[in-house]
Amino acid sequence: MRKTDEFDAKQKSRVRMNDFNAGRQSRYLMVVSLTLLPILSLVLITVFTFFHPIFEKMEFIADTIYEEIRPVRVLQKGLMVSMMAPNDYLLHGNMDEKKIWEQSKDEVNHYFKVLIENPAYADEKSRLLILKQEWVNCMLLGDQIFQVKVVGLISRHSAELMEAFDQCVENISSDLDSFAEYREESVSGAYKSIHELKTKTIIATLAAILLGMISGVVGSIWLARNRSKMIEFVTRDALTGAYNRRALDEALHRLNGDKSAFAALLLDLDNFKSVNDTHGHDAGDLILKSFVEETKKVLRTDDLFGRYGGEEFLILLYNTKLEHAVTLAERIRQSVESNAVFLPSSGAHHSLTVSIGCAASDGSKPSEETVRMADKAMYKAKQSGRNQVRVAES
Single-letter amino acid, residue 139: M
d(CA 127, CA 131): 6
- Residue 189's alpha-carbon distances to 8, 57, 61, 186, in angstroms, are 73, 11, 10, 5
Rounded distance, CA 46 to CA 36, Å?
15
Q: Please tell me the distance from the alpha carbon of residue 272 to that of residue 270, in angstroms, as a whole number.
A: 5
Check 117, 232, 293, 311 and give the catalytic one: 311
| Distance in angstroms (rounded) separating the CA atoms of residues 290 and 312 | 14
Q: 67 near 129, Cβ under 8 Å?
A: no
Give the C-alpha separation, 374 to 264, whole Å.
7
Q: How far apart are CA 367 and CA 257, in angstroms?
A: 10
Of 265, 270, 252, nearest to 358 by C-alpha is 265
Report whether 265 contacts 327 (CB < 8 A): no
Nearest alpha carbon to residue 264 among 338, 362, 384 = 362
311 is catalytic: yes
Catalytic residues: 311
